Amino acid sequence: MMLVIFATEREALPFLEGASRERESIGSKPMFTRVSGGKQADVVVSGMGQVNTAQALTAYLELRTRPDFIIMGGCAGAFAGRGAAVGDVCFATEEIYADAGINSPEGFLGLEKTGIPLAETKDMKYYNRFPVRDLSGKVAGSGFPFKIFSGPFATVSAVSGTEKSAAGIEMAWHPLCENMEGAAAAHVSFMYGAPFAEVRGVSNMAEDRDRARWDIPKACANCAAVIKELMEKI
């Protein structure tokens, strides 16, 4: 059984369309059960941001049977230098807490400079970066009318609304796209030893904010199409 987590119901609805579903709640957050073709996915709507995501995912993992796989879906802003455009779908290869660190006279410094990891195992310390399963190969050759990309994702508390802010994140971390939840989901999944992947449709470019250039419905629909395909293959 798969768990799919979205920040908002708007992002979740295209994935829930066309399948029988029931609504309940877990940890005060909405949860749906999607059944299609004999396969089941629980869908949790966490609320926007890192704390909501961590709380919703922790509640699920504490109160329910451990899922075979966790997928975070939704939309994201892509960095122009990495090739993805509005409507394309991106898979994370890792998640980065992009604004956690030190603002120093020499510029932004990641958490490694503090010497205090956010998590650690016997053999590894984790500072800003957390592992993610790249499932892009599962949908290779599926014939989607948009491009598929994979690369690092940056999680931020304030998304890029200017070219200058986007350039700072791109220079520091070289991410494919940015979002407001993924690193928290990857972090919690890591702490519980649960396999985690992240798939996001590109709703906008990380640049000077211009809502007229965004396409959130297309991003959510394309992301949902890819997760539905994954549901049949993992």
pLDDT, tens digit, 9 for 90 and up, residues 103-125:
999 888 999 999 999 999 999 99
Other beta carbons within 10 Å of 31: 21
55/38 Cα distance (integer angstroms): 29
pLDDT of residue 234: 85
Residues 6+ apart with CB under 8 A from 3: 41, 42, 43, 44, 60, 67, 69, 70, 71
Residue 151 bridge partners (DSSP)? 92
- Decide if 148 contacts 157 (C-beta within 8 A): no
- Higher-pLDDT residue of 39 and 145 is 145
Query: Is there a domain that residue 79 lies in?
Result: yes
pLDDT of residue 35: 86
pLDDT of residue 182: 98
Helix (H, G, I), strand (E, B) or coil at 123: coil
pLDDT of residue 31: 95
Place of tokens 């449709």: 201
The CATH number of residue 199's host domain is 3.40.50.1580
Stated pTM of the model: 0.95
Query: Is there a domain that residue 10 lies in?
Result: no
21/9 Cα distance (integer angstroms): 14
19/47 Cα distance (integer angstroms): 23
Please state the rounded mean pLDDT for residues 209-230: 97
User: At residue 18, does pLDDT exceed 90?
Assistant: no
Query: Is there a domain that residue 97 lies in?
Result: yes
User: At residue 132, does pLDDT exceed 90?
Assistant: yes
pLDDT, tens digit, 9 for 90 and up, residues 49-92:
999 999 999 999 999 989 999 999 999 999 998 999 999 999 99
Domain of residue 183, residue span: 71-233
Place of tokens 């960095």: 79
Domain tally for the chain? 1
Residue 158 bridge partners (DSSP)? none
pLDDT of residue 81: 86
Query: Is there a domain that residue 152 lies in?
Result: yes
Query: Is there a domain that residue 52 lies in?
Result: no
- Decide if 70 contacts 3 (C-beta within 8 A): yes
Would the CA dihedral through 52, 192, 133, 145 be positive or negative?
A: negative
Query: Is there a domain that residue 131 lies in?
Result: yes
- Provide the mean pLDDT of the chain: 95
Distance between first and last Cα of the chain: 9
What the block records as the tokens of 38 is 């004999």
